[in-house]
Structure formats: C-alpha cells, structure tokens
Amino acid sequence: MKQTNMTVTDTKLTKSQASGAKPQEQEEEVDIDLEAPETEKAALAIQNQFRRFQKKKK
C-alpha cells in the first residue's frame, strides 16, 4: 500500500469548497439611504425581533 504525506489540514475543505460554491469575484456595493424613514422602521423592527429572541433564549 502506498503511503501519502498528507496532514489532517490538507484533507479539510473550506465551506465554499465543500458546498461547491464558486468564490465571489467582486463584492456588490449596495447604496442604501440610512436616513430614510422606511430604513429606520425596518431597523427598529429587526432590533425588536432580535431582543425578543434573546429574551426567549434565556
């Protein structure tokens, strides 16, 4: 039987390699108006849901 000199780290795959995902070539820049009332409402709603989740978790 032929032995190989591979280490444990050589056999591990990154998450993107394991899932077969292609690396993203360039990150897409999103232009969001952080001062818009809709954005502020959405942010508050997300924060409230997160706080409720944290309370349930305890």
pLDDT of res. 5: 57
- The rounded distance, in Å, linking the Cα atoms of 58 and 52 is 10
- The rounded distance, in Å, linking the Cα atoms of 44 and 24 is 31
pLDDT of res. 20: 64
pLDDT of res. 57: 84
Q: What is the dihedral of CA 38, 40, 45, 47, to 10 degrees?
A: 160
Output the tens digit of pLDDT for each of the chain's 58 residues.
Answer: 555 555 555 555 555 565 565 665 788 988 999 999 999 999 999 999 999 999 998 7
Q: What are φ and ψ of residue 35, in 5° steps?
A: -95, -5
How many CA atoms lie within 13 Å of 16's alpha carbon, on the beta-carbon side? Answer: 4
For tokens 């952080």, the residue is 34
pTM of the entire predicted model = 0.46
